[in-house]
Amino acid sequence: MVDVNKQIRRAVKSGKVGFGSKDALSSAASARAKLIILAKNCRESDREDILHNAEQSEVPVYIFPGSSLDLGAVCEKPFPVSALVVREAGDSEVLKLVAEKK
């Protein structure tokens, strides 16, 4: 089993990522993301739009079990992170999160 927090932190440090629901929405619509991670408390309207676009573009989405404050802390950011876009995983195994879900 993949340690979620460790792999997210590793992806942020060694990969290419983006932060925020606007970035997640545009990346989902254009299929530029390999994975989108949403905080459990992401705004409902944003979540629905991101999930819809991700489904259309076949971009996998992982719902992080913690809040946006928790996700921000995992990413070692001093601000809440409602959505994290993984464009390149770097040295992490973060993409296995969705493989384990299936």
Instruction: Tokens for 74, please give them.
Output: 């995992």
Distance of CA 37 to the CA centre of its chain: 2
pLDDT in tens, 67-98: 999 999 999 999 999 999 999 999 998 888 77
* DSSP, res 84: E
The pLDDT value recorded for residue 99 is: 72
* pTM score, whole prediction: 0.91
- H or E stretch at 75: none
Domain coordinates in residue numbering, the chain:
4-101
Instruction: Tokens for 12, please give them.
Output: 């942020």
CATH of domain 4-101: 3.30.1330.30
Percent of the chain's residues with pLDDT above 90: 83
* Rounded CA separation 56/81 (Å): 24
Taking the CB of residue 44, how many other CB atoms lie within 10 A of it? 8
pLDDT in tens, 26-44: 999 999 999 999 999 999 9
